[in-house]
């Protein structure tokens, strides 16, 4: 270990955002990184391959719900801080199997909080003062907006999906552990991310892969739901900034300042695909768009007010949606074997999260 450099635990390190954060932390030599990941279907070792020979990075395969395993990691590796991203994250899967979401997102966070509460009590006064915990959450905890306005850090929680509820539960636990036990914690709530290595069940990679295969691109309902899109590397930068310099006990919203209706987003994506694939047999790709039945409880609109993060810590997204989508399309075109492997072994692109009478997890 390089002396003076902090050791950080990143949970969910092999996931979409966690791996981008690990790559960012190591590319900028900001910390020695210990990744923890259960390696669920959503994880990707390839997303961490670039760190394979980095002596300052280590990946531990473990479940955050396993208190003993977490205790062993903390007591042997003595981290200076934790950025917590491990979660079940796909809303449609939370409709099919809510129990797994409660288990990892809520109970897993509780286990981590208890382990950190104990670990923190063993630290010297100096280390206690410098230890920090960043809990990474979502805008979905705030529920749904009408046509105007945006979520601020003081917007009341109103989660509508089992995913959002399990994350809201975790946010409340983190707040309580800070207020009651003085755990040095911060919460960040972010809007929809996109970029390389996102598991192709999520809207943007699913649409790209469907288009590449000449298949229908499903758009829920009338495609009028609005999301605020943030390029994943910009989120990684925000996360480290909040972890490093955010005020303890505070919440920070992170947003992309890029609101789009789903159908408009798909349209922009299809134009980029048309340019990237001039010989495609399915030009224009927009002809593949197909409206399908809506997601139960589908939130109408999310929009983030991230002025607090901007004014206190000077962060704004760097990547425009157009540039981010171009980079993302280029990445998926160059990494079709990664996509094919997922398609053949893990997820073939079928519809998830439709209510079936009498089915429960």
Ligand X SMILES: NC(=O)c1ccc[n+]([C@@H]2O[C@H](COP(=O)([O-])OP(=O)(O)OC[C@H]3O[C@@H](n4cnc5c(N)ncnc54)[C@H](O)[C@@H]3O)[C@@H](O)[C@H]2O)c1
Q: Which residues are catalytic?
A: 139-140, 163
Site for ligand X in 182-241 (CB under 6 A): 190, 192-193, 199
3-state secondary structure of 8: strand
Q: Which of 6, 8, 10, 18 binds ligand X (CB under 6 A)?
A: 18
Q: Which of 25, 26, 32, 43 binds ligand X (CB under 6 A)?
A: 43
* Residue 187, both tokens: 């919460």
Site for ligand X in 143-162 (CB under 6 A): none
Per-residue buried b or exposed e for 268-284, using 16+ beta carbons within 10 Å of the residue's own CB? ebbebbbebbeeeebee
Which residue of 6, 8, 10, 15 would you call a contact of ligand X, by CB under 6 A?
A: 15
| Of residues 45 and 128, the one with the C-beta less far from ligand X | 45
Q: Binding to ligand X (CB under 6 A): which residues in 101-140?
A: 104, 108, 136, 138
Q: How far apart are CA 55 and CA 78, in angstroms?
A: 17
d(CA 211, CA 214): 5
- Nearest residue to 135 via CA among 82, 201, 62: 82
Q: Which is nearer to ligand X, 62 or 288 (CB)?
A: 62
Binder among 14, 208, 289, 339 for ligand X (CB under 6 A):
14
List Cβ neighbours of 257 (8 Å cut-off, separation of 6 or more).
228, 306, 316, 317
Through-space distance between the first and last CA atoms of the chain, rounded to whole angstroms: 44
Residue from 30, 50, 60, 65 touching ligand X (CB under 6 A): that is 65
Cβ closest to ligand X, residue 210 vs residue 235: 235
Site for ligand X in 69-88 (CB under 6 A): 85-88
DSSP states of 247-292 as a string?
A: PTT-EEEE--S-EEEHHHHHHHHHHHHHHH-TT-TT-SGGGGEEEE
Q: How far is CA 262 from CA 95, 215, 265, 268, in A?
A: 20, 18, 5, 10
89 binds ligand X per the rule CB under 6 A: yes
Shortest gap between Cβ of 219 and ligand X (angstroms)?
Answer: 18
- Residue selected from 12, 79, 218, 324 as contacting ligand X according to rule CB under 6 A: 12
From candidates 39, 60, 333, 352, binder to ligand X by CB under 6 A: 39
Contact window for ligand X (CB under 6 A) among 30-38, 147-155, 297-305, 341-349 = 30-38
Q: How far is CA 322 from CA 93, 305, 326, 344, in A?
A: 29, 21, 6, 30
CB of 191 to ligand X, least distance (A): 6
Least Cβ distance, residue 74 to ligand X (angstroms): 14
Stretch that binds ligand X, among 49-57, 59-67, 143-151, 293-301 (CB under 6 A): 59-67
Nearest approach in angstroms of CB 318 to ligand X is 17
Q: How many residues bind ligand X (CB under 6 A)?
A: 31
Q: Which two tokens stand for residue 81?
A: 């801080």
Is the CB of 91 or the CB of 288 nearer to ligand X?
91
b/e string for 99-135 if b means 16 or more Cβ within 10 A? ebbbbbbbbbbbbbbbbbeebbeeeeeeeeeebbbbb
Q: Which stretch binds ligand X (CB under 6 A): 63-71, 242-250, 269-277, 296-304?
A: 63-71
Closest distance between ligand X and the C-beta of residue 75, in Å? 18
Among positions 59, 63, 106, 266, the unique one binding ligand X when judged by CB under 6 A = 63
CA distance 321 to 195: 11
Q: Check residue 16 for interaction with ligand X (CB under 6 A).
A: yes
Question: Is 167 a binder of ligand X (CB under 6 A)?
Answer: yes
Q: Which two tokens stand for residue 264?
A: 């408009």
Which among 254, 252, 269, 240 is positioned nearest to 303, based on CA atoms?
A: 254
Nearer to ligand X, 18 or 246 (CB): 18
The residue ranges that bind ligand X (CB under 6 A) are 11-12, 14-18, 36-40, 42-43, 63-65, 85-89, 104, 108, 136, 138, 167, 190, 192-193, 199
């Amino acid at each position: 270990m390089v002396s003076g450099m902090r050791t950080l635990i990143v949970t969910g390190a092999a996931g979409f955002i966690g791996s981008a954060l690990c790559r960012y932390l190591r590319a900028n030599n900001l910390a020695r990184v210990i990744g923890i990941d259960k390696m669920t279907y959503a994880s990707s070792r390839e997303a961490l391959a670039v760190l394979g020979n980095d002596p300052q990075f280590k990946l531990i395969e473990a479940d955050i719900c396993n208190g003993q395993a977490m205790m062993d990691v903390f007591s042997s590796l003595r981290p200076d801080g934790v950025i917590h991203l491990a979660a079940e994250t796909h809303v449609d899967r939370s409709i099919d199997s809510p129990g797994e979401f409660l288990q990892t997102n809520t109970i897993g966070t509780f286990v981590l909080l208890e382990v950190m509460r104990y670990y923190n009590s063993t630290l010297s006064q100096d280390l206690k003062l410098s230890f920090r915990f960043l809990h990474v959450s979502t805008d979905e905890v705030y529920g749904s907006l009408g046509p105007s306005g945006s979520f601020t850090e003081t917007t009341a929680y109103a989660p509508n999906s089992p995913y959002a509820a399990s994350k809201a539960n975790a946010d409340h636990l983190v707040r309580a552990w800070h207020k009651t036990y003085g755990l040095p914690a911060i919460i960040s709530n972010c809007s929809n991310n996109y970029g390389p290595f996102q598991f192709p069940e999520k809207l943007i990679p699913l649409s790209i892969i469907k288009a590449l295969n000449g298949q229908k691109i499903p758009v829920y309902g009338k495609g009028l739901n609005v999301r605020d899109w943030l390029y994943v590397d910009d989120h990684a930068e925000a996360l480290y900034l909040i972890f490093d310099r955010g005020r303890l006990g505070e919440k920070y919203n992170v947003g992309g300042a890029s609101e789009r209706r789903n159908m408009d987003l798909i349209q922009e994506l299809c134009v980029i695909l048309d340019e990237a694939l001039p010989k495609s047999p399915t030009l224009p790709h927009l002809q593949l768009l197909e409206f399908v039945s809506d997601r139960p409880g589908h939130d109408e609109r999310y929009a983030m007010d991230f002025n607090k993060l901007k004014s206190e810590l000077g962060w704004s997204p760097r990547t425009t949606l157009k540039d981010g989508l171009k980079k993302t399309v280029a990445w998926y075109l160059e990494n079709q074997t990664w996509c094919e492997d997922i398609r053949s072994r893990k997820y073939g692109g079928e519809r998830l999260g439709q209510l079936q009478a009498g089915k429960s997890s």
